Structure 1
């Protein structure tokens, strides 16, 4: 009788240990993915803004290359090699987003969400985050989710629009 109880208890402990081990592996994968995403974002934000590079981005952006508009917007937002300008960054992010550079849509949403170069507007920010999310940009989906969590009426307002 005691042996059966011990065996049963031992089976439960082993099963639970396996479950915890599986959960740890999943958490490690999630943590690794988060670290990689952060590294990618930091790499993208760390733009060398030499005069030649700025000139090349301007030409490409004027030629309709949306990703170049986004990079140029980042340069103006950060003020690297140019005078910092939220207005110019906003204009360039708009051009990038219109050209379906979905990261540009994320940055545009960020500008509206924080009132940078434009009047604060969560509804407008949500629209840009939704466009980015629909374009498979994970950061757009994350920011949209955060806005929804912050304002439960936001989804209703978006649907009514």
Structure 2
């Protein structure tokens, strides 16, 4: 193989969007983000030191986006972002440290192909290894215009 061909293959493997005709604005919103996953916790109690590993695969860009959330208080709010509209949750594991167990496919989120949908997740109850002790409510919605800034700071739509 020629050096140019090898170099081109390396560039294409390292930068999946390189050389494609699709623009970034077609894949993302004007803020650079695609869909969001909003997570609210309202626990009455929790066992040990729970840590939630959430891994998202961005289907449009081929990126893998890992998120790690530590439960340190009963009420909390977390966000996970994708950079395009189509994604799949490949891992959702909740580990109770030190060595108290693990819940695979936490909230039954794994292997969901999501196209143009964001998620709103509410966790409540007593967070333990026993999945009957807590509830996980997952809602889907089509709005991809989640704003990080307060409404007063957000740009006006024309």
Same fold, judged at TM 0.5 (above): no
TM-score range, shorter chain: under 0.3
Determine which structure has greater relative contact order: mean sequence separation of CA pairs < 8 Å that are 6+ residues apart, divided by chain length. 2
- Which has more strand, going by share of residues? 2
Quick check: which has more Rg, 1 or 2? Answer: 1
- Which has more helix, going by share of residues? 1
Return the TM-score normalized by structure 2: 0.24
